[in-house]
Copies of this chain bind each other. A is one copy, B any other.
Amino acid sequence: MPRPDGRTPNQLRPVRISRNWLRHAEGSALIEFGETRVLCAATVEEGVPRWRRGTGEGWVTAEYAMLPRATDTRGTRESVKGRIGGRTHEISRLIGRSLRAVVDFKAMGEHTITLDCDVLQADGGTRTAAITGAYVALVDAVRYLRRQRNLKTNPLTGSVAAVSVGIIQGQPRLDLNYLEDSVAQTDMNVVVTGAGEFIEVQGTAESAPFDRKLLDSLLDLAVAGCAELTEIQKKALTE
């Protein structure tokens, strides 16, 4: 089975980052991984959650959601259901953790930055696109905060990018689209810093358990893919 869009196994989909797509947000980016399109907005607010007050440290959190018709068939809104589903919770938590790994909370002071990642269109890899785009929005929000509060130290200690990898018919592939994702035997999401270190490694055997050798090849592929994404982020941030 060749890749549906003709890519080589270690090739990313075309990635586009439109910075400052929103007018009100302190940072924002519309990120596209091929047909996957996620709107990332960073909001800077004074104060921190209750359990963190008085520590002098800031906080970074994230909320992920999907528009009802981002997908092939329409999904019921979580606001209509009256509850947030497990998948949404899981991804929101992953995005928040990933970004917090490169933040020096002391340097932020007691401010909260919230990253809203709303999937406008989904074609696989929404969570990794969200992390990669949210980092760009975060950088702009932190720049805003530094100007506003005259912060001396940069609260960001590194950059973050994320990509999915998977095994299809025994072959490791980078950045799966929806079609590939739904047939992959093993699926892995990897979050890597600009320095090439791991923030999060989440591998799941979708149909068959996988061995160490396969795991290693997936990690290699992911690290290389994230390095490319880091370059794209850098370019977007200097425009």
Contact = CB atoms under 8 A, between A and B. Distances in A.
Interface of A: 22-25, 28, 35, 39, 41, 43, 45, 63, 65, 67-72, 74, 77-90, 92-93, 97, 101-102, 114, 116, 118, 120-121, 123, 158, 188, 193, 195, 197-205, 207-212, 215, 219
A63 B84 CA distance: 16
A234 to B, nearest CB: 18
16 contacts: A22-B121, A25-B69, A39-B120, A41-B68, A67-B118, A68-B116, A69-B116, A74-B114, A78-B79, A79-B79, A79-B81, A101-B205, A198-B203, A198-B209, A199-B205, A201-B203
A41 to B, nearest CB: 4
Query: How many copies of this chain?
Result: 6
A86 B89 contact: yes
5 shortest interchain CB distances as A-B pairs? A86-B89, A197-B209, A78-B79, A41-B69, A43-B74
Chain A residues touching B, majority SS: mixed
- Best-buried of A69, A97, A205, A210 by chain B (most CB within 10 Å): A69
Given A79-B79, A101-B209, A198-B210, A24 B70 contact: yes
A83 B84 contact: yes
Nearest to A196: B211
Contact of A205 (B43, B77, B198): B198
B65 A79 contact: yes
A72 B201 contact: no
Contact of A67 (B41, B207, B208): B41
A63 B77 contact: yes
Contacts of A24: 69-72, 121
A84 B90 contact: no
B77 A65 contact: yes
A126 to B, nearest CB: 13
Contacts of A22: 69-70, 120-121
A90 B86 contact: yes
Nearest to A72: B24
Contacts of A80: 63, 84
A171 to B, nearest CB: 18
A67 B116 contact: yes
